[in-house]
Amino acid sequence: MHFLDQAKIFVRSGAGGPGAVSFRREKFIEYGGPDGGNGGKGGDIIFEAVAGLNTLIDFRYTQHFRAPRGHGGSGSNRTGAGGDDLVIKVPVGTQIMDEAREEVLLDFTHAGQREVFLRGGDGGRGNATYKTSTNRAPRQHGTGWPYQEAWLWLRLKLLADAGLVGLPNAGKSTFINAVTNAQAKVGAYAFTTTRPQLGVVRHHQREFVVADIPGLIEGAAEGAGIGDRFLGHIERCKVLLHLVDANDEDVGESYRIVRDELENYGGGLTDKPVVVALNKIDTLDDELIAALLAELEEASGEEVIAISGAAGTGTDWALDRLLEAIGPDAATVAADDEGEDSIEWSPV
């Protein structure tokens, strides 16, 4: 499935139906009069967040959404049928933004959230409603209230508890493959990850969601490499796991490059709790690992843990630190799980 996290669409609610001009004329009825019914209400534009969706790819092929208008009224004081509401289903984590992408109009943070975005026009009045003591045979009627329309941007921000950041080839994909069943692409070249990946980790009878995004390089905020467009997917994370490749020439500089790009992006990413890990230690001896840990701790000001995603060394320690930062809100595993150590995940 192709991943798409931004889409521009056009929405229009339904206009109200016109009221009717009608007069009652029946045999043996002494007094007739106006009996035109009101028009029906136009359909609303409704957005609904649903589980099971994690891409906006459907909006690449369908960009225009128009709700039906209300039906006109008719004689015998019959009100016209209202137009059906148009429900647009979006993934959880979707933001509805104005055309200029400057204001967030709606933010869908949980499955089942349902919001009316554009209300359909009310139906016009039939001529029966205009009857007065001095106007016994009115011929005026309402044409119905007009529709509302707008161009919108949809932006998807994946919902995850922890986010992985680091330079390309820092081992983020290997780590998420080791602790989940995400099956992220791994390769000995930069930018093997070209779209965000989600994985569900089960650890100590709890589970939480981890997001892996493409690596950042110096100048990503200005568009270098893949740029920083995917950083929006970790804005909602409670903690970041910053992986640094132990084989880099200067691990301190590798850390600072990524932190500078996070600061340039904004979004409060540098204010989030961070767990710093020196990755790929399986390729080094203990003396060199100790020296690199000291160097990285001096650069980051954080306690650094040594791990190897490929060998599984220290991954439990990293998950412990992530759970501690996430807090008690992470979902607990069902009691009837029988203690299995299998790992589940939600594919992207």
SS3 assignment for the chain = CCCCCEEEEEEECCCCCCCCCCEECCCCCCCCEECCCCCCCCCCEEEEEECCCCCCCHHHHCCEEECCCCCCCECCCECCCCCCCEEEEEECCEEEECCCCCCEEEECCCCCCEEEEECCCCCCCCHHHHCCCCCCCCCCCCCCCCCCEEEEEEEECCCCCEEEECCCCCCHHHHHHHHCCCCCCCCCCCCCCCCCEEEEEEECCEEEEEEECCCCCCCHHHCCCCCCHHHHHHCCCCEEEEEEECCCCCHHHHHHHHHHHHHHHCCCHHHCCEEEEEECHHHCCHHHHHHHHHHHHHHHCCCEEECECCCCECHHHHHHHHHHHHCCCCCECCHHHCCCCCCCCCCC
| Average pLDDT of the segment spanning 91-113 | 93
Q: How confident is the model at residue 79 (pLDDT cuts 50, 70, 90)?
A: very high
The answer to whether 219 is annotated as binding is no
> 227 vs 301, which has greater pLDDT?
301
pLDDT of residue 87: 97
Residue 30 pLDDT more than 90? no
CA distance 103 to 229: 17
SS3 state of residue 101 = coil
Bridge partners for 87 per DSSP? 46
Q: Domain residue spans in the chain?
A: 6-156, 162-337
pLDDT of residue 42: 97
- pLDDT mean across residues, the chain: 86
Q: How confident is the model at residue 4 (pLDDT cuts 50, 70, 90)?
A: confident
The answer to whether 212 is annotated as binding is yes
CA distance 326 to 275: 11
CA distance 341 to 88: 38
Pair type for strands 6-12 and 33-34:
unpaired
Reported as a single tens digit per residue, the pLDDT across 212-225 is: 888 887 777 676 76
pLDDT of residue 193: 64
| Average pLDDT of the segment spanning 123-147 | 93
What is the amino acid identity at position 93?
G
The answer to whether 252 is annotated as binding is no
The answer to whether 142 is annotated as binding is no
The answer to whether 341 is annotated as binding is no
Residue in the structure block whose two tokens are 């002494």: 30
| Average pLDDT of the segment spanning 133-157 | 93
The answer to whether 254 is annotated as binding is no
The answer to whether 279 is annotated as binding is yes
Q: How confident is the model at residue 329 (pLDDT cuts 50, 70, 90)?
A: low
pLDDT of residue 228: 72
Do domains 6-156 and 162-337 share one topology? The answer is no
The answer to whether 89 is annotated as binding is no
The answer to whether 54 is annotated as binding is no
Residue 158 pLDDT more than 60? yes
Residue 163 pLDDT more than 50? yes
**Confidence (pTM):** 0.75
The answer to whether 170 is annotated as binding is yes
Q: Fold for 162-337, please state it.
A: Rossmann fold (3.40.50)
Q: Poorest-confidence range of 48-57, 105-114, 245-254?
A: 48-57
- Decide which of 3.30.1490.20, 2.30.30.90, 3.40.50.300, 2.70.210.12 is the CATH code for 6-156: 2.70.210.12
Residue 89 pLDDT more than 80? yes
